[in-house]
Structure 1
Amino acid sequence: MKKIFILAASFCMLFWSVTFANAETATQNLSLDDAIQRAFTFNTQIRITEKEIDKQDYLVKRSGNEVRYSPIDEGYNPKDLSTLSTHEQNLFNLRKGERQLEADKRQVILDTKTAYYNVLKAQKNLEVSQINYKNSQLILLQAESKHKVGLTTNADLLNVQSKVEADKAAITEKQGIVDEAYTNLNKLVSFPIDTRPVLTDRITFEEVDFDPFSKANLAAEMSYEVWSAEEAARVAERMRIFATYYTVANYNVDQATETARDTRETIKKQTRSLVLGLDTLKSKYDQLNTQLIEAQEKLKVAKANMAVGMVTKDAVQATELGVVQTEAALMEVASQYNITADTILKLTGELPSDPKKMLANGK
């Protein structure tokens, strides 16, 4: 009997501790910096790449020992060639893994920031739908009152009712988008799938001043994609002396060289295009910001007019909807601008791969 009591007590303690932990996680605040720190801690791809580096380091040591202790004459018999080529390939894989790790870490920053922003944008769009639905309900009440006294037809009333149902369905759709955005963020920061942390940061427009040509040239020198392609071409060149058929080896070198050249030009073009796109986003943001100021002034006037009976409540709500819609559009543009800027920094190698350095730089 005593054992049963102890087991029951232990189970209850475990149940309540898990429940409390889940409740604490579900209600906790989450800043963007905290999200990035958690993503670095729990990211699966980073751990996989780190294991790959350890494996390649081990293989390099093994193949290096084989080269060191294998007598190789000037004739390079087939076994010698295999030993040397294996060691050369292992060295390349190790260097590639180390560079891949840096690229993976920078990608985690981008992915986490994008997921964080997506939740904020989804919540704002949900707010837009809720205000729109609220306004539709008010218009429906007015339509029903007019219909009772014969001022509107059945068709008019049905049209308003259809609009209300459509706006109600839009709320369900937008809520689904919020849930999906949270799911993606939770996966990155290793939260339970149904967790809904309160996001404490907001999307602010972080203006940068990039020169398209200098950034394009820097990306061509520093990006992981260019390095990987050009390093593969260098390895192909070194591996030519180990080849059984030199003609095939020459083809391999030519292909790798062309791939490296094309990758360099592609990255330069992509980076330049991204930098030029920032100017377009900046202009759009300025335009929307002006529209927001105008919409906010209209809302003040509408509220003042309603206070003295000059306009009805639905007119105020329609004006409020315009404000929130413009805010949502501003968030979208600011998000695109910030993520584009970080993507450029990732390509140029300027985006810190260490979250502590990133926070120290205020990025």
Structure 2
Amino acid sequence: MATKKYVIGSIGGAMILAQTLTAFAATPSEISLDDSVALALKNNPAVKIAVQDQEKSNWSIKEAEAGKLPTLSLGLSSTRMPGAASGEPGTNYNTSLKLNWTLYSGGRLEGLIDQAKLNADNSDLGVTKAQQQVKLDATTAYYNVLQAANMVKVNQETVDSLTEHLKSVQAQFAAGTVAKSDVLRSEVELANAQQNFTKAQNAYDVAIASLNNVMGEPLDTERSLKDELAYTEFTMSLDESIEYALQHRPDIFQSKNSVTIAEQGVNIAESGFRPTITMGASDGWSGNEFPGQANNWSVNVMANWNVFDSGITKAKVKQAEAGVDKAIQQDVQTRNGVQLEVRQNYMNMKEAEKRLQTTKVAVDKATEDLKIAKTKYYAGVGTNLDVIDAQLALTQAKTNNTQALYDYNLNKAKLEKSMGL
């Protein structure tokens, strides 16, 4: 498991480095999806926090391993004492050098070291999780900008079409072939379309600011996007996606480690049933001249076995065993949650994929219907209401198609994240 994780981590690190270099090569005003992800990974605090947790966990290993090594302490003291009846006050110095070494802890130190290593392993996986989440956040923000840009385009096309139609209606009204109500209705629909265009433009500006925020850039940075929302088929099946997630999701590895950490907790608790063996050595000097004259040294080996502790150790073992059962259930819960997440994202992606097909047909038919409605109206055999209804239908069809394309790409990105890609 560890080998697989380190291989995955190395590949991920190389990809992140490549993305970062790409971001630096890009011009400030134009940016691709990969550039956005690279900047987010470089600047986002969530990744930096995970890296600091990783550093902290690595030092925790050193702390646990130090428990198996000897310790050496130096003690110094001086005492001022009154002298004899006819003498001057004197000072007595005491200097000591002590060594302590735990030779056998009943398995407690070994368990703490193993726990520290597993916690560090989880921190490494935490960095990967943070990177995957930031990648999804940046991708979502990028797609939001593309979606907003598409909606600006749709609403601009509607405004242009209604503006052209209004001019024709006004010309026909001037010629006396249509009623004033046709002009008024056309003006109202154009005003509504202009209002929707303004809202779409504002949504685009907000989306740009949100993308800049995810990337750690000034919110008012002007950018144009290289990529576009496009359909790219996802070839893996649902079962293959779930299986991949169970083998690659960092949450799964962290969950496994948590079970092992809990099992080590049982070993640590059971160490209270076993004896401990320590070795000590000391050397001391004392006298009225620093550091002292008399030399007193000793070496000892001490074994200690707590034969009866009123059930404290047994209670600790039972608590640790309950912790193992809890960790196992949490592992099951994590696996079920991963599978559910993958399934939901996969099905949402497929649903959007189907909508892509139907909405594309709807756009084609609505475009043709608008042409027919305009032709009939200008020939005097159709109504202005037919034209407006056809225009509204086309705008809705384009909106639905744009939304389906956005939903497909967004759910695909969520699926990839839930799989641990």
Q: TM-score, normalised by structure 1?
A: 0.72
Does structure 2 conserve the Cα–Cα contact (< 8 Å) formed by 1:138 and 1:314?
A: no
Q: How far apart, CA to CA, are the structure 1 residues paired with 2:363 and 2:183?
A: 33
**How far is the alpha carbon of 1:279 from its aligned partner?**
2.9
Distance 1:263 1:127 in 2: 43
Q: Give the alignment partner of residue 176 of structure 1, picking from 202, 214, 233.
A: 202
Residue 118 of structure 2 is aligned to residue 118 of structure 1: no
1:101 is the counterpart of 2:127: yes
Q: Percent identity?
A: 22
How far off its partner does 1:118 sit? 0.4
State the one-letter code of the partner of 2:404. V
Distance 1:57 1:121, change over 3 A: same
2:90 corresponds to 1:90: no
In the alignment, is the contact (CA less than 8 A) between 1:121 and 1:332 conserved in 2? yes
- Could you say which residue in structure 1 is the equivalent of 2:272? none
Q: 1:164 to 1:120 in 2, by over 3 A?
A: same
- Whether 1:239 aligns to 2:270 is no
2:104 aligned partner: 73
Q: Deviations over 1:196-244 (max 9, x none)?
A: 3111211001111222223223322321222222221121011112234
Matched to 2:59, the amino acid is: Y
Count of aligned residue pairs for this structure pair: 317
* 1:1-363 equivalent positions in 2, closer than 5 A: 25=28, 28-69=29-70, 70-73=101-104, 75=106, 81=108, 83-84=109-110, 86-132=112-158, 167-243=193-269, 244=313, 245-298=316-369, 322-349=393-420, 351=421
**Normalising by structure 2, what TM-score?**
0.63
Contact in 1 for aligned 2:166/2:187 (Cα 8 Å): yes
Deviates further, 124-133 or 41-50: 124-133
CA contact (8 A) 2:341 2:418 kept: no
Provide the C-alpha distance between the structure 1 equivalents of 2:347 and 2:266, rounded to a whole number of angstroms: 41
Shift in Å, 1:319:
5.2
CA contact (8 A) 1:212 1:272 kept: yes
CA offset digits 1:312-354 (Å, max 9, x no partner): 99977875665454343223222222232333333333x2xxx
Letter in 2 for 1:45: A
Aligned to 2:284: none
Larger Rg: 2
In structure 2, the gaps of 5 or more residues are: 1-26, 71-100, 270-312
Question: What secondary structure sits across from 2:229 in the alignment?
Answer: coil
| Paired residue secondary structure (1:209) | coil
Deviations 1:59-106 (A, max 9, x none): 212322323445242546xxxx4x555534432221112112222222
* Distance verdict in 2 for CA 1:45–1:215, change over 3 Å: same
Which is worse superposed, 315-324 or 175-184? Answer: 315-324
1:248-273 CA distance string (max 9 Å, x none): 11211111111111211221233233
What secondary structure is seen at the aligned counterpart in 2 of 1:210? coil
2-side partners of 1:317 and 1:165: how far apart?
Answer: 13
Deviations 1:124-158 (A, max 9, x none): 22344445556677888969x98xx99678xx999
1:189 alignment partner AA: M
- Aligned CA distance change for structure 1 residues 195 and 300 (closer, same or farther; 3 Å): farther
Q: Structure 1: where are the runs of 5+ without partners?
A: 1-23, 352-363
Instruction: Give, as a single letter, the amino acid of the residue that structure 2 aligns with 1:71.
Output: T
Counterpart code for 1:248: Q
RMSD between aligned alpha carbons?
3.9
Amino acid at match of 1:64: E
More strand per residue: 2
- Structure 1 residues 324 and 221, CA gap change in structure 2 (3 angstroms): same
Question: How far apart, in 2, do the equivalents of 1:101 and 1:75 lie?
Answer: 34
Q: Is the 8 A contact 1:288 1:329 kept in 2?
A: yes
Query: Are the equivalent residues in 1 in contact too, given 2:112–2:268 (CA < 8 A)?
Result: no
- Letter of the 1:33 partner, please give it: D
Aligned pair in 2 of structure 1 residues 202, 308: CA closer, same or farther (>3 Å)? Answer: farther
Q: d(CA) in 1 for partners of 2:115 and 2:199?
A: 51
Amino acid at match of 2:402: M
Output the CA distance in 2 between the equivalents of 1:226 and 1:275: 19
Write the distance in 2 (CA, Å) between the matches of 1:34 and 1:310: 55
* Greater mean alpha carbon deviation, residues 240-249 or residues 164-173: 164-173
The Cα of 1:182 is off from its aligned counterpart by 1.0
State the secondary structure of the residue aligned to 1:71: strand
Tell me: CA distance 1:157–1:67, structure 2 relative to 1, closer, same or farther (3 Å).
farther
The 3 A distance-change label for structure 1 pair 140 and 286 is closer
Q: Which amino acid aligns with 2:199?
A: E
Larger mean Cα displacement after TM superposition, 87-96 or 134-143: 134-143
Q: Which amino acid aligns with 1:198?
A: S
Give the distance between the partners of 1:158 and 1:289, measured in 2 at CA: 32
Higher relative contact order (CA 8 A, sep 6+): 1
Asked if the contact 2:154/2:395 (under 8 Å) is kept, the reply is yes
What SS does the aligned partner of 1:67 have? coil
Counterpart of 1:8 in structure 2 is none
Structure 2 CA distance for aligned equivalents of residues 140 and 211 of structure 1: 51
Q: Work out whether residues 210 and 275 of structure 1, in 8 Å CA contact, stay in contact via their aligned partners in 2.
A: no
One-letter amino acid of the structure 1 residue matched with residue 418 of structure 2: L
